[in-house]
Structure 1
Amino acid sequence: MIYQIKQSELPKKLWSLIDAALRGEPVFIERDDKALVQLIPLKQMLHPRKAGSAKGMVKMADDFDALLDDFAAYMP
């Protein structure tokens, strides 16, 4: 079922619309018979991110900051 609701009806039906969106049902909020917003649930992360969890997985070249010969003409 697709839910289409006028902006003026939103305050009294908000939580039922949120529940519908969480069930995967399309929810659109309209003004002047034009859809303005689609209500979609946020994706839940499987596990929280942890700072430093990718440490040692990325290798930067020793000359990463070195100037490229191709740009020599543009350098002062």
Structure 2
Amino acid sequence: MQDAKAHLSELVARAERGEIVIIGRAGSPGARLVALAPTPPRTFGSMEFTTPDTFDEPLPDADLRVWE
């Protein structure tokens, strides 16, 4: 266990490369270090949405009057 603490970065790198890393205590296997699977990008709902280039421009006066 002490050796694993001292070389944790190296052990994580080996696990990331796909190697099976077993950490033991007092000669007995205690844990297996494995890399996490990459997570897919998150999406918001199922609709595709694009922001128009004019999004930040002021609204026309006629549209503003509707909101008053």
Q: Shorter-normalised TM-score: what interval?
A: 0.5 to 0.7
What's the TM-score once normalised by structure 1's chain length? 0.53
C-alpha RMSD of the superposition = 1.7
Q: Are positions 1:24 and 2:18 aligned together?
A: yes
- Structure 2: how far apart are the matches of 1:30 and 1:24? 19
Give unpaired runs (5+ residues) of structure 1: 1-6, 55-76
SS at 2:10 equivalent:
helix
Shift of 1:16: 0.6
Shift of 1:50: 2.1
**More contact order relative to length (CA 8 Å, sep ≥ 6):** 1
Equivalent residue, structure 1, for 2:45: 52
Tell me how many residue pairs correspond in the alignment: 47
Give unpaired runs (5+ residues) of structure 2: 48-68
- Structure 2: how far apart are the matches of 1:15 and 1:24? 15
What's the TM-score once normalised by structure 2's chain length? 0.59
**1:6-63 residue CA offsets vs partner (Å, 9 max, x unmatched):** x011221101111111111110110121111100000002x32224239xxxxxxxxx
Q: Percent identity?
A: 32
